[in-house]
Amino acid sequence: MSDTPILKVAVNVPLSREFDYLPPASGAVPAAGCRVQVPFGRRQQVGMVLGLAADSALPAGKIRRCDAVLDDAPLLSAQDLWLVRFTSDYYHHPIGEVVAAALPSILRQGKPLCPRVEMMAITAAGEAVDIAAIASRAPKQAELIAALVDAGGDGLEANVLNEMLPTWRRSAKALLAKGLILAFEARAPEMDERLAAAREPGPTLNDDQQQALSILRSSDRFGAYLLDGVTGSGKTEVYLQRMHDVIKQGKQILVLVPEIGLTPQLVDRLRARLGIEPALLHSGLTDTARLAAWRAARSGAARLVVGTRSAIFTPLRNPGLIVVDEEHDLSFKQQEGLRYSARDLAIAKAKHLDIPIILGSATPTLEMLHHCRNGTYKHIVLPVRAGGAKPPTLRLIDTVRAPATDGISQPLADAISKHLDDGGQVLIFLNRRGFAPTLICSSCGHIAGCGRCDSRLTVHAHKQQLRCHHCGFNRPLKEQCDECGEIVRPLGEGTERIEESLLSRFPGFVIRRIDSDSTQRKGAMDAALKSATAGEADILVGTQMLSKGHHFPKLTLVGIVNADQGLFGTDFRSSERMAQSIIQVAGRAGRESRAGEVLIQTAFPENKFWSTLINGGYRQVTNDALAERELTRWPPFTRLALLRSAAHNRADAHRFLEVARRHLATSANETLRVLGPVDAPMARKAGRHRAQLLLQSADRAALHHALRELRRQLENDPAARKVRWSIDVDPIELI
């Protein structure tokens, strides 16, 4: 045995194992957390060194050498690697793919942490020229000279010039030849600790907030604090104060938010109140901007890091606090590939780092409430709205007695008129975009379906299209039935139809639709939210996008058009979800001096769900749901995992799961229940047949043990080659 260490390397391939390599023939041995370039099969791959070992299970001659070490110092610290390993173990996902998810794409590709960037600058000769004289012959050249003169000695990045003067390269040629400008390379600029303008003071906290804050201040060590406060109760004010303490201690804060595009108000507030420019990490950034923010978090220059779910993997040099805002939001769970919950990883990370984590919500999940009852998390309640705003009142409209035309019943229409006359703003909520969810033939009853999914095509009137919301398929909208040639008509309502119906009922008022169709253009979402906040729009129509954390000062009425979708849901979480979405959207009403009103259209006003929600509020809904789940042994009283498979034909998808079921039977464990295989609720999607096997156990360790064995067996099973399969731990939807 020589004393050359063996590198344990994670490679981005769908296999659980780590791979053994020798360090390069010359140069220093890379430390854990450095990237290496390795031969893998016939290709080259970027790998991450996870650790060093004295020996390998492979015979010495079989171990390949890595070709290059890509980092002088570890990119990921021991703590960051801990999170990567934990994620891989907990979600039973290949470690190389977890590393890939944890790195910005530039680093995943093996490029340097501090890339060299192409720069242009003015020369002394260039500064001396007469720009006006050049402008008359070659206006583009003059523009480039002027821009570089303005930039001074530091010059400008080529990337920046691309945005400013898209055709600058053509002008640059001549100017470079004449020595008026020069090109060079520089290190990408670092994001330094950026202070925003002076810190703005906040309101004086009320007693409930004060008490919440003192509990949060009681320790700088690990503790999970559920800040459970009704909408507008001042949760954000409480976080802000606690965050300020942490900033003063010189430590970093990570804030996870559902979607940055939907919460510009929160980002503005953090900036203003903490006096710090946050480093933002979200999917809308360019790769270079993302890397810059990641670097700033890693170096500690960014004191405040605000991001969506994948930001949980961002290295922090000196972390002091994690905040998860709107803990209940579904977007914290990734629903494809590495199916992780950023909220749950945030808790694990805080525990490992021994720092506090605050989870905020007006509608906390049953999982968090259950932990609070157990005493593992601390429950902090803010029961009333801060600053004197009243809670909104909820009322039902029975659509059997008062039928809706084009989605709006007479009582709802009357209420809209009244609120508009009083100068209020109105929000109409429904969770369906497009014009109508169904196109039906008035003669033969044929319904337009998607050829690749078990789903109906949605009518989109603006684009004159039929679209599948599951696979993206679309085709032009026709007026005749495919089957019999008779006239077809749209059935049911989507946001477009409600918008149209409101336009004809309330002429002269400004109506704004906000859904993923209307906000596709860059900046459209921001503009729509600004106009909603400023009160320029009288009526807002939209999907759950509108329910998230916004503060629309003039909003006094919320109308929920079709609330019945969730009443008879098949998922055991249906009622919890529905209560969350109603309470969240209701929470947009009456946030200032004028009281808010919420009207809910339902064809089933007698359903027990409504009396529970209206009389007992979200608290009662969750108390009932917890009691029921305890009886029926669903989470949070048991743990679930789903094994999913998809194949071109149904038999393959099922056969694979049968194989899995047999493997599970051999690792016999009496606490483990295995249900299925069954078809997925939407069995065919995008041309593939989908099936699933549900694993359930009250014993978390037993479940994970079974999953670990199962994964190992399936990776080597020939049945796996015919299907796409995945494991989903703590699934949030059983589909």
Residues that bind Zn ion (CB under 5 A): 450, 452-453, 468, 470-471, 473
Least distance from Zn ion to the Cβ atom of residue 493, Å: 21
- Pick from 606, 607, 546, 612: nearest CA to 581: 546
Nearer to ligand ADP, 204 or 716 (CB): 204
User: Per the structure block, which two tokens stand in for 296?
Assistant: 């700033």
Give CA angle at 696 (694, 702), nearest 5°: 125
Q: Residue 509: which of ligand ADP, Zn ion, none does it interact with, CB under 5 to 8 A by kind?
A: none
Nearer to Zn ion, 384 or 471 (CB): 471
- Pick from 377, 328, 384: nearest CA to 356: 377
Nearer to ligand ADP, 378 or 629 (CB): 378
Least distance from ligand ADP to the Cβ atom of residue 140, Å: 49
Q: Residue 232: which of Zn ion, ligand ADP, none does it interact with, CB under 5 to 8 A by kind?
A: ligand ADP
Nearer to ligand ADP, 439 or 583 (CB): 583
Nearer to ligand ADP, 148 or 386 (CB): 386
Strands (E), 85-157: 116-122, 156-157
Q: Which of 45, 87, 141, 236 binds ligand ADP (CB under 6 A)?
A: 236
Q: Residue 453: which of ligand ADP, Zn ion, none does it interact with, CB under 5 to 8 A by kind?
A: Zn ion
Nearer to Zn ion, 470 or 708 (CB): 470
Q: Does 329 bind ligand ADP (CB under 6 A)?
A: no
Choose the binding region for ligand ADP from 81-89, 90-98, 225-233, 476-484 (rule: CB under 6 A). 225-233
How many angstroms separate the CA atoms of 312 and 345, rounded?
Answer: 7
Sheet with 116-122, strands from edge to edge, namely 156-157, 116-122, 181-187
Site string for ligand ADP, 368-387 (x = CB under 6 A): ------------------xx
CB 640 within 8 A of CB 706: no
Nearer to ligand ADP, 325 or 576 (CB): 325
Measured from each CB, the residue nearest to ligand ADP is 387
Q: Residue 452: which of ligand ADP, Zn ion, none does it interact with, CB under 5 to 8 A by kind?
A: Zn ion
Least distance from ligand ADP to the Cβ atom of residue 212, Å: 11
Q: Rounded to the nearest 10 degrees, what angle do helices 574-586 and 617-632 cross at?
A: 170
Bond preceding residue 636 cis, omega within 30 of 0 = yes
Least distance from ligand ADP to the Cβ atom of residue 227, Å: 8
Residue with tokens 């606690």: 242
Least distance from Zn ion to the Cβ atom of residue 688, Å: 11
Least distance from ligand ADP to the Cβ atom of residue 255, Å: 13
Choose the binding region for ligand ADP from 233-241, 312-320, 566-574, 660-668 (rule: CB under 6 A). 233-241
Q: Does 87 bind ligand ADP (CB under 6 A)?
A: no
User: Per the structure block, which two tokens stand in for 569?
Assistant: 């849901």
- Pick from 216, 201, 195, 360: nearest CA to 273: 201
CB 563 within 8 A of CB 409: no
How many angstroms separate the CA atoms of 435 and 214, rounded?
Answer: 50
Q: How far from 352 is each of 81, 245, 324, 357, 397, CA to CA, in Å?
A: 12, 21, 16, 11, 50
How many angstroms separate the CA atoms of 553 and 562, rounded?
Answer: 25
How many angstroms separate the CA atoms of 559 and 597, rounded?
Answer: 9
Q: Residue 237: which of ligand ADP, Zn ion, none does it interact with, CB under 5 to 8 A by kind?
A: ligand ADP
Nearer to Zn ion, 216 or 653 (CB): 653
Q: How far from 641 is each of 198, 331, 506, 661, 695, CA to CA, in Å?
A: 49, 19, 49, 13, 5
Q: Which of 45, 87, 88, 231 binds ligand ADP (CB under 6 A)?
A: 231
How many angstroms separate the CA atoms of 46 and 262, rounded?
Answer: 35
Q: Does 12 bind ligand ADP (CB under 6 A)?
A: no
Choose the binding region for ligand ADP from 38-46, 61-69, 228-236, 653-661 (rule: CB under 6 A). 228-236
Q: Does 205 bind ligand ADP (CB under 6 A)?
A: yes
Q: Which of 45, 141, 209, 562 binds ligand ADP (CB under 6 A)?
A: 209
Query: What is the number of alpha carbons within 13 Å of residue 727 lying toward its C-beta?
Result: 27
Nearer to ligand ADP, 234 or 411 (CB): 234
Show contacts with ligand ADP in window 685-704 (CB under 6 A).
Answer: none
Least distance from Zn ion to the Cβ atom of residue 348, Å: 36
Least distance from ligand ADP to the Cβ atom of residue 207, Å: 9
Q: Does 237 bind ligand ADP (CB under 6 A)?
A: yes
Written as one string, the DSSP assignment of 424-449 is -EEEEE-S--SSBSEEEETTT--B-B
Residue 623, classified by CB atoms within 10 Å of its CB into exposed (0-12), middle (13-18) or buried (19+), is: middle
Radius of gyration of the chain (CA): 29
Site string for ligand ADP, 382-411 (x = CB under 6 A): ----xx------------------------
Counting other chains too, the contacts that 732-735 makes at CB distance below 8 Å and 24 or more residues apart are 732/330, 732/333, 732/335, 732/341, 732/573, 733/335, 733/571, 733/573, 734/570, 734/571, 734/572, 734/642, 734/681, 734/692, 734/694, 735/571, 735/680, 735/681, 735/682
Q: Does 235 bind ligand ADP (CB under 6 A)?
A: yes
Question: 3-state SS string over 256-305?
Answer: ECCCHHHCHHHHHHHHHHHCECCEEECCCCCHHHHHHHHHHHHHCCCCEE
Least distance from ligand ADP to the Cβ atom of residue 592, Å: 8
Nearer to ligand ADP, 8 or 588 (CB): 588
Residue with tokens 């559902």: 258
Choose the binding region for ligand ADP from 148-156, 185-193, 203-211, 293-301 (rule: CB under 6 A). 203-211
Nearer to Zn ion, 350 or 453 (CB): 453
Nearer to Zn ion, 468 or 514 (CB): 468
Nearer to ligand ADP, 203 or 569 (CB): 203
Choose the binding region for ligand ADP from 127-135, 159-167, 226-234, 508-516 (rule: CB under 6 A). 226-234
Q: Where are the alpha helices (DSSP H) in 506-573?
A: 524-533
Q: Which of 47, 94, 234, 731 binds ligand ADP (CB under 6 A)?
A: 234
Q: Which of 74, 94, 229, 490 binds ligand ADP (CB under 6 A)?
A: 229
Nearer to ligand ADP, 256 or 457 (CB): 256
CB 264 within 8 A of CB 526: yes
- Pick from 112, 122, 157, 113: nearest CA to 142: 122
Q: Residue 52: which of Zn ion, ligand ADP, none does it interact with, CB under 5 to 8 A by kind?
A: none
Q: Does 179 bind ligand ADP (CB under 6 A)?
A: no
Least distance from Zn ion to the Cβ atom of residue 450, Å: 3
Least distance from ligand ADP to the Cβ atom of residue 588, Å: 10
If one counts every other C-beta atom within 10 angstroms of the C-beta of residue 54, the result is 9
Contacts of 420 (CB under 8 A, 6+ apart): 426, 506, 509, 538, 539
Nearer to ligand ADP, 269 or 711 (CB): 269
Q: Does 203 bind ligand ADP (CB under 6 A)?
A: yes
Q: Rounded to the nearest 10 degrees, what angle do helices 524-533 and 264-274 cross at?
A: 70
Q: How far from 574 is each of 530, 564, 568, 584, CA to CA, in Å?
A: 32, 11, 8, 15
Q: Residue 231: which of Zn ion, ligand ADP, none does it interact with, CB under 5 to 8 A by kind?
A: ligand ADP
First to last CA, the chain: 52
DSSP state of 479: S
Site string for ligand ADP, 527-566 (x = CB under 6 A): ------------------------x---------------
The residues that touch ligand ADP, with contacts defined as CB under 6 A, are 203-206, 209, 229, 231-237, 386-387, 551
